[in-house]
């Protein structure tokens, strides 16, 4: 099979060599540079990449993705879309060829979106950016989606392919909010866009806009994915918490628990709320409920604090303030297993040991 990688880039010079080492399993690589002012284009050409430079004005991610896809030859069997801050684990090409056949049109695979300070995946989910050359296009100004325009689509899951994301934290995401507002203007009934816009307002601490937008998300007839609905409810609760409207925050966290009781996240957020209010018996209650959920759902919705040391840390604090120092010591030790270099946890352990 002929396998081609395609991407968009702007000022990604520092990632080029690492990215190309990962993408070298492809037959060829195509990049649309959208206006780099560093030596990204030169570095890509040194690595044998087919590069075209074109500014997209006004900027939209979907237009840029579609332009980059147009660079890929029509006789390509499999297209692989990545970004320059992403790295495949070795052997991806072999796994792809082993599981792909003529009836397949698209593949989903593992994506480690973020890692903790110890290099362990913090947020992991499936993405679907490997596809046939024809019949696909990108849509939405930001948080773009790969869509099929053919009558037939066959998507396979390849768990043996993993793509890791190592983002440039210095890059601004200032364009995201106006692009999300545009996306909702263009597709006001698209539940995914509405959820992302509400979440973006939360990032900007525009609490009332977040609440209003996520209420619209929950009212859309297509907003049926319980994980995402529960996330909207949690973000509404966070906004009310920031506004110090704690009863409303509790109410929305309870709604989130009812919506998706199989996810830890709302239980942990409820425990965090009760910690702020120093309701230690409630902190204990919701942390223990969270621990009854053993499985980490493969979804971008999952919060890192639901699976790192946070629950054990909160339990240790709750037992400490309830005077149960032996239990407090037990849970601080469990927290330290997951985060052994955390100075605050280490200091807490000394205080707890003195009491115990």
CATH number for position 249: 1.25.40.10
- Tokens 């009310």, residue? 240
β-sheet bridge partners, residue 81 = 6
Residue 280 within any structural domain of the chain? no
How far apart CA 8 and CA 300 sit, in angstroms, is: 23
The token duo for 245 is 């409207």
Domain that holds residue 90: 3-165
- Where residue 46 sits, what CATH number does that domain have? 3.90.550.10
Residue 354 within any structural domain of the chain? no
Pairing of strands 121-131, 106-115: antiparallel
Nearest to 125 by CA among 26, 227, 54, 210: 227
Largest CA distance in the chain: 71
Please name the helix (run of DSSP H) or strand (run of DSSP E) that holds residue 13, with its range, or none. none
Residue 160 near residue 141 (C-beta atoms within 8 A): no
The token duo for 285 is 């209650």
How far apart CA 24 and CA 21 sit, in angstroms, is: 5
- Domain end (from 140, 165, 190): 165
- Domain end (from 203, 237, 269): 269
The token duo for 102 is 């003529």
Q: What is the pLDDT of residues 200-238, one digit of tens each?
A: 999 999 999 999 999 999 999 999 999 999 999 999 999
Looking at the fold, whether 106 and 189 belong to one and the same domain comes out as no
How far apart CA 119 and CA 339 sit, in angstroms, is: 12
Residue 229 within any structural domain of the chain? yes
Looking at the fold, whether 81 and 180 belong to one and the same domain comes out as no
Residue 170 within any structural domain of the chain? no
Residue 311 to residues 185, 289, 315, 341, Cα–Cα distance (Å): 39, 10, 6, 17
Residue 103 within any structural domain of the chain? yes
Looking at the fold, whether 181 and 146 belong to one and the same domain comes out as no
Nearest to 38 by CA among 18, 53, 23: 53
β-sheet bridge partners, residue 350 = none
The token duo for 77 is 């069997």
Residue 279 within any structural domain of the chain? no
pLDDT tens per residue, the chain (356 residues)?
A: 999 999 999 999 999 999 999 999 999 999 999 999 999 999 999 999 999 999 999 999 999 999 999 999 999 999 999 999 999 999 999 999 999 999 999 999 999 999 988 888 889 999 999 999 999 999 999 999 999 999 999 999 999 999 999 988 888 778 899 999 999 999 999 999 999 999 999 999 999 999 999 999 999 999 999 999 999 999 999 999 999 999 999 999 999 999 999 999 999 999 999 999 999 999 999 999 999 999 888 888 889 999 999 999 999 999 999 999 999 999 999 999 999 999 999 999 999 999 98
Peptide bond into 306 cis (omega under 30): no
Q: What is the pLDDT of residue 175?
A: 87
Residue 276 within any structural domain of the chain? no
Q: What is the pLDDT of residue 189?
A: 96
Please name the helix (run of DSSP H) or strand (run of DSSP E) that holds residue 353, with its range, or none. helix 343-355
Residue 82 within any structural domain of the chain? yes
Looking at the fold, whether 140 and 7 belong to one and the same domain comes out as yes
Nearest to 251 by CA among 266, 262, 264: 266
Peptide bond into 58 cis (omega under 30): yes
How many structural domains is the chain composed of? 2
Q: Is the dihedral of CA 238, 240, 243, 247 positive or negative?
A: negative
How far apart CA 264 and CA 90 sit, in angstroms, is: 32
Looking at the fold, whether 192 and 75 belong to one and the same domain comes out as no
How far apart CA 274 and CA 134 sit, in angstroms, is: 53
For the whole model, what pTM was predicted? Answer: 0.92
Looking at the fold, whether 69 and 92 belong to one and the same domain comes out as yes
Nearest to 230 by CA among 202, 195, 206: 195
CA angle, 152 as apex, 150 and 157 as ends, to 5°? 115
Looking at the fold, whether 120 and 180 belong to one and the same domain comes out as no
Looking at the fold, whether 153 and 237 belong to one and the same domain comes out as no
Nearest to 283 by CA among 246, 312, 247: 312
Looking at the fold, whether 211 and 103 belong to one and the same domain comes out as no
Q: What is the pLDDT of residue 170?
A: 81
- Domain end (from 130, 165, 200): 165
Looking at the fold, whether 87 and 203 belong to one and the same domain comes out as no
Looking at the fold, whether 121 and 239 belong to one and the same domain comes out as no
Looking at the fold, whether 156 and 134 belong to one and the same domain comes out as yes
């Amino acid at each position: 099979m002929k396998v081609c990688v395609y991407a968009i880039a702007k000022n990604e010079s520092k990632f080029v060599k690492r990215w190309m080492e990962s993408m070298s399993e492809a037959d060829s690589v195509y990049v649309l540079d959208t206006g780099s002012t560093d030596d990204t284009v030169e570095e890509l050409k040194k690595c044998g990449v087919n590069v075209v430079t074109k500014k997209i004005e006004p900027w939209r991610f979907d237009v840029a993705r579609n332009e980059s896809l147009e660079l890929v030859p029509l006789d390509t069997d499999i297209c692989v879309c990545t970004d320059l801050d992403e790295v495949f684990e070795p052997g991806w090409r072999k796994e792809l060829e082993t599981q792909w056949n003529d009836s397949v049109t698209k593949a989903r695979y593992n994506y480690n979106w973020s890692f903790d300070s110890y290099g362990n995946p913090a947020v992991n989910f499936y993405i679907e950016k490997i596809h046939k050359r024809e019949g696909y296009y990108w849509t939405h100004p930001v948080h773009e989606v790969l869509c099929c325009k053919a009558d037939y689509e066959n998507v396979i899951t390849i768990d043996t392919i993993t793509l890791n994301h190592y983002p440039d934290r210095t890059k601004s995401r200032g364009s995201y909010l106006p692009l999300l507002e545009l996306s909702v203007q263009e597709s006001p009934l698209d539940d995914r866009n509405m959820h992302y816009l509400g979440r973006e307002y939360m990032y900007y601490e525009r609490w009332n806009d977040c609440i209003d937008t996520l209420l619209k998300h929950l009212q859309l007839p297509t907003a049926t994915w319980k994980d995402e609905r529960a996330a909207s409810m949690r973000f509404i609760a966070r906004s009310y918490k920031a506004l110090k409207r704690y009863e409303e925050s509790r109410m929305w966290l309870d709604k989130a628990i009812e919506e998706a009781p199989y996810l830890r996240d709302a239980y942990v957020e409820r425990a965090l709320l009760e910690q702020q209010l120093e309701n230690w018996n409630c902190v204990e209650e919701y942390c223990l409920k969270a621990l009854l959920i053993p499985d980490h759902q493969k979804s971008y919705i999952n919060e890192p604090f639901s699976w790192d040391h946070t629950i054990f840390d909160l339990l240790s604090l709750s037992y400490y303030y309830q005077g149960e120092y032996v239990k407090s010591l037990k849970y601080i030790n469990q927290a330290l297993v997951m985060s052994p270099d955390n100075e605050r946890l280490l200091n807490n352990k000394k205080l707890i040991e003195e009491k115990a």
